[in-house]
Structure 1
Amino acid sequence: MNFKHICLSLACMAVFSSCSDKMDYHEFTNYGKDYVFSDFGRTAGFVNNIYSYLEQDLPSTTSLASACDEAEMAVSWSSVLDYTNGNWSALNSKSQWNLYSGIRAANYFLQEAKGLDFYDLRFTEDYQAQMNRFNRYQYEVRLLRAYYYFCLVRAYGDVPFTTEVLTEEEANSISRTRADEVFDFIISECDAVAYELPVSYKDLEEDAAGGSNPETGRVTRGTALALKARAALYHASKLFNESGDEELWKNAALASLNVIDYCDENGISLGAYTDLWGTDNYKASEVIFARRVGDTATPEYDNFPIGMENARSGNCPTQTLVDAYEMQDGGEPSITAPYAGRDPRFKMTIACNGDKWPDSNPEPLETYVGGKNGAPISYATPTGYYLKKYLDGSIDISAGNSTGGKRHSWIAFRLGEFLLNYAEATFRYLGSADGICDILPMSAREAVNKVRARGGVDMPGFSEGMSNGDFWNRYKRERMVELAFEGHRFWDVRRWKEGGFTGITRMRINKISEDRFSYNRMEKALVWNDKMYFFPIPDAEIRKNGNLKQNPGW
């Protein structure tokens, strides 16, 4: 497991990237705890490094969107294709095991920093403010550790689990802990730390004293409530709840309701859908927690349409995803104009033939066969579409006019997700889309309709009296649409355990005349085996540890 020697070879990662409000990362070359924990700055750097393991899946050549049916990777050499072409194995494991480095660092901090009072610094001007911040670190670190365990249990099921700093020998003899116990730990840690963390950092005395831009990107009370609710939803889902234990669904519904109530109490509300990406997306009205990734143009280089200078195409939305976008009038799409009248989120998320995208593209997109952005150009979209969501259309990546990178942030938790999570859990617990009870006063249907009614979307709500089958199918479509390219679809299909990604649909567009096109659906098979509900444990870890048993089928 490579738990060996905790100490502090910490990589410097610039994750939060404004000026006075950034979270700074530090690199330590002195490995002694007395060095690290004798100074507020070095201690803060150690804690900030633990944040560096937080996940983010901004569109790239390894994005999980192209490991499911949201997108198809146009770049033929990308390793993300291994998930669906049969090359995934314990020797090519797509390992999530690096999260144990974050867990190891968290365990080390919680052990070695306990009871520190920085007595030698007691006469410094900001001593009390610094101590207030330090005393909060233990709760931040516990929450981060719980987050990393959630990511591991989501991927592997039963996982090695410890809250201690292990020797190398101990680490390489540890066995796997049942997923149920790990979920219980995650949820209990969220409960324990939530009300020790602030709702916001901007009004804290120690931050306000530093100026008008306090450090951002730290976990909050809302982060703890949100992690608890997401973990409870996964715990209740079929992958981890084969017996269909209704109590787990009730707990998941109540946890999501708690997040919704928290948002209502603290002015967190649904806003414009397009506010969820762009330079200031971390300020969007519905954001609960966002990871500040920094100034970059990598997502744009990796996903802008082929045919543009320096663009590499990348994650191309599938027709499978397009099909999930309902018509605004409830009807069926036109054969000759298949994109007219769709859910407005379609054009916000996906660039299709004839769109002016991005801003620096002088001409409308030509994704048809023979077009400037279509086949047979190498790495042209194989699906007929390009990606918009999470890309900054104002960035120019051409050599002569490059605008350089702009700020990107990955939204880890937002209100829209928890309205949908609540809908799913309430539906499963009460057995009806319209069901309510004393503790769950909003029906599953009403929760979904809140998402569909957000400004700028304004899709017709789900009607009363839907059959359970109709609600479930439409709920899954709604979730695929609302949360597209936000890192959920890959995991949702696994936790539902309703069958994996066996294929995707592409759209082949041919130009008939200047303003007429034909649209032909084409199917592409993907490799799926039910062992893929869980990741394989890396073969190297199995070889090091005789007590570490491989997941079935791998």
Structure 2
Amino acid sequence: MDYHEYVVKDKEQITATFEDVGGFMTDIYNHVDYDYGQYYSGAVLGSASDEAEYALQGNAIEDFYNGAWSATNAKETLWNDMYEGIAACNVYIDEFTGLTFDDLALNSDYEKQLYRYNNYEWEARFMRAYFYFVLARQYGGVPLVTHTQSYDITNALPRESSDSIFSFIISECDAIKDSIIADYSDLGAMDMGANETGRADRLAVLALKARAALYWASPLFNPDDDATRWYNAALYTKQLIDECTERGKRLADDYESLWATDNYSNANIMCEIIFGRRVYGSGSEGVSSTFESYNYPVGIEGGNGGNCPTQTLVDAYEFVSGDSAGLRPKDLADYDPDKPYYDDRDPRFYVTVAKNGDENWPSSNTTPLQTYYGGINAEPLTGGTPTGYYVKKLCHSAIDLSSNSSYEADNHTWVTFRLGEFYLNYAEAVFKYLGSPYATDGELTMSAADALDKTRLRAGLKSLSEVRPGMTNDEFWDVYKTERMVELAFEGHRFWDVRRWKEADEHFTSVDEMKLTLNSDSTISYERNTVSRTWDDKMYLFPIPQSEIQKNPNLTQNPGW
């Protein structure tokens, strides 16, 4: 008997059916990055920025700011993941395109399946471009591999410049934007009834192009401040926003709903999301509660404390009403740095940060949170919040981790691109290009201030013209950075934004905590505590893993490493 046991199929076996070719393409999506704590044993990159502090000491996230980061401790997970994804894309593009499946031509669904198959080439090229964006964001220039080739060739390639990589990403997006399916939710006669909302379409391509252009224009990659790059970033982002509008996309009414369990199927949420990564863990029926387990407060069954928002982040949320509207605590004339100012804050604060006294967080918890020292959710318990806060955003509070619960897991979708981000991206690019928060021109018809108002007004804040009229450029830049920190908190942006701005010496050398004490009269005392962190300018880019340099003598190391 010519019998073999195997699970890995070769090219001939894969190309025999639409299903196997589609499965190969779909598996490439599993390389898309996300940040639910999977890389650092629960810690997210926000805990290596000024967004958060990880509650459990000794976590690998501390290597980013305690001096232990090095080329031999290079945090290379994304290097490996992205190049594996790139290799799979190259295999698909080189070997699995141009098929006709003639043996299946008499099948009743042949035309529809072939229509879907013919789009996979463009998806593969989008994915490859996206993987290179992740690498460029992290390392700058990297080796550029666009075809399948032997290991000895790959391991002799030099690094391309960051300019070359960003140029490649943008040119790839231009090459595929008119060929890829425009909208997977509307395939007309070719609609097969399958849920394809997780696949990349034309808007995802335009979003990648616009975001890559913004990074390429930023000081880290644009040391000469080439104004053309800022212009292109603004123009590409405006084109994306305009096309989103034409397709009926808009900001979701409810900010908190963007991370709900049905954010991939609810039209009132999908209206803002351009592309998201399905994330399934080890829970029942393909769903997960891993992120909740990492981040629910200690003192709640199954909770480990996790990524605790800093007082630095809390201070970024504005007041909503009265004479203080539009101001942050530091903007007040009678500012007391030892008071957290919980009341009358930006509504996004209350759905992002869990604070002392909060009720029904998570939903199954019937006791108000006690984050003061000695409280049931606080230090000195292992995992007790060091900052005075816990994270709400991204957590699905209905998940009950208690041993007798029947609701222990849920669907999660990491939002890779959403319209809210691109209003902010446009505001930055047009401000940097035109040199004023209020300027417009014939092409860039929306000012930076008006673009910034989009996310503010959705959150329930007043417009900038009402609360901060006549801002100087420095004032606008400060307001812009704060709005971006608030709107995109815990979405994986802050760690990279501060780097591309080259402002880490301003933001990443310390974080503020708030220490709470319960007094004998049941009042709470607050004391701000500033924690220093190590920063070196070499950290703007990651070190090339020493293991890769040993394999490839033509790889050069990033400066300082």
TM-score (norm 1): 0.92
Deviates more, 1:50-59 or 1:338-347: 50-59
Moved more, 436-445 or 114-123: 114-123
Q: Structure 1 CA distance, aligned partners of 2:402 and 2:263?
A: 24
Asked if 1 retains the 8 angstrom alpha-carbon contact of 2:340 and 2:514, the reply is no
The match for 1:183 among 133, 145, 166 is 166
Q: Which residue of 2 aligns with 1:495?
A: 500
Relative distance call for 1:206 and 1:62 in structure 2 (3 A) is: farther
SS in 1 for 2:543: coil
1:35-434 correspondence runs (5 A):
35-59=13-37, 61-95=42-76, 96-98=78-80, 99-205=82-188, 208-209=191-192, 211=193, 213-271=194-252, 272-282=254-264, 283=266, 284=269, 285-294=271-280, 295-328=287-320, 329-331=325-327, 333=329, 338-356=341-359, 357-434=361-438
Match of 2:488 in 1: 483
Distance, in Å, in 1 between the alignment partners of 2:273 and 2:190 is: 21
2:513 is paired with a residue whose SS is strand
Query: CA–CA distance in 1 between the matches of 2:20 and 2:524?
Result: 62
Residue 34 (structure 1) aligned to one of 3, 12, 16:
12
> Residue 493 of structure 1 aligns to a residue in which SS?
helix
2:511 is aligned, of 504, 507, 510, to 504
- Within 2, Cα distance between the matches of 1:128 and 1:163? 30
Task: Show CA shifts across 1:503-533 (max 9, x none).
Answer: 1000001112555211111011111111100
Given that residues 130 and 206 in structure 1 are in contact (C-alpha distance below 8 angstroms), is that contact kept between their aligned partners in structure 2?
no
2:350 partner SS? helix
Q: Distance in 2 between matches of 1:450 and 1:216?
A: 25
Structure 1 pair 453–113 and aligned structure 2 pair: CA distance change class (3 A): same
* Cα displacement string for residues 479-499 of structure 1 (whole angstroms, at most 9, x for unaligned residues): 000000001000000000123
Query: Match of 1:525?
Result: 532
* 1:337 shift after superposition: 6.5
* Partners of 1:158 and 1:179 within 8 A in 2: yes
- Give, in whole Å, the separation in 1 of the partners of 2:170 and 2:249: 23
What CA distance in whole angstroms lies between the structure 1 residues aligned with 2:8 and 2:36?
33
Q: CA 1:511–1:476 in structure 2 vs 1: closer, same or farther (change >3 Å)?
A: same
Q: Please identify runs of 4+ aligned residues in structure 1 that moved more than 4 A.
A: 331-337
Cα root mean square deviation, aligned: 1.7
- When structure 1 is superposed on structure 2, of 511-520 and 255-264 the one drifting more is 511-520
2:413 match: secondary structure: strand
User: Residue type of the partner of 2:26?
Assistant: N
Q: How far did residue 296 of structure 1 move?
A: 0.7
Match of residue 12 from structure 1? none
Q: Contact between 2:326 and 2:462, CA under 8 Å: does it hold in 1?
A: no
* Percent identity of equivalent pairs: 49
Q: TM-score, normalised by structure 2?
A: 0.91
Report the Cα distance in structure 1 between the residues aligned to 2:512 and 2:187, rounded to whole angstroms: 51
Please give the alpha-carbon distance, in whole angstroms, between the structure 2 residues aligned to 1:499 and 1:262: 34
Q: Which amino acid aligns with 1:297?
A: S
Between the aligned partners of 2:293 and 2:97, the Cα distance in structure 1 is 45
**Which secondary structure state, in structure 1, belongs to the residue aligned with residue 404 of structure 2?**
coil
Deviation track 1:110-136 (CA, whole Å, cap 9, x = no partner) reads: 111232111111111111111111110
Q: Is the 8 A contact 2:277 2:414 kept in 1?
A: yes
Kindly indicate whether the alpha-carbon contact (under 8 Å) linking 2:119 and 2:181 is maintained by their aligned counterparts in 1: no
Contact 2:518 2:525 in 1 (8 A): yes
User: 1:303, 1:243 → 2: CA distance?
Assistant: 42
Q: 1-side partners of 2:189 and 2:49: how far apart?
A: 44
Residues 274 and 417 in structure 2, CA contact (< 8 A), matched pair in contact too: yes
Distance, in Å, in 2 between the alignment partners of 1:205 and 1:30 is: 35
- 1:14-33 map, 5 Å: 29-33=7-11
- Whether the aligned pair in 2 keeps the contact of 1:273 and 1:457 (CA below 8 Å) is no
Residue identity matched to 1:353 = N
Of the candidates 454, 459, 484, which is equivalent to residue 450 of structure 1?
Answer: 454
Deviation of 1:30 after TM superposition, in Å, equals: 3.4
Amino acid in structure 1 at the alignment position of 2:166:
F
Residues 514 and 486 of structure 1: is their aligned pair in 2 closer, same or farther, counting only changes over 3 Å?
farther
In the TM superposition, what is the alpha-carbon distance from 1:29 to its structure 2 partner? 2.8
Aligned partners of 1:187 and 1:232 also within 8 Å: yes
Which residue number corresponds to residue 3 of structure 1? none
Query: Does the C-alpha gap of structure 1 residues 392 and 546 become closer, same or farther in structure 2, counting only changes over 3 Å?
Result: same
Question: Could you tell which deviates more after superposition, 294-303 or 231-240?
Answer: 294-303
Are the equivalent residues in 2 in contact too, given 1:106–1:145 (CA < 8 A)?
A: yes
What are the Cα deviations for residues 442-490 of structure 1, in whole angstroms up to 9, with x where unaligned? 1100100111001x53344254421010000111000000000001000
Measured at CA, do residues 530 and 141 of structure 1 come closer, stay the same or move farther in structure 2, by a change above 3 Å?
same
Q: How many residues align?
A: 525
Alpha-carbon contact 1:207-1:215 (below 8 Å) kept: no
> What displacement does 1:293 show?
1.2
**d(CA) in 1 for partners of 2:129 and 2:484?**
25
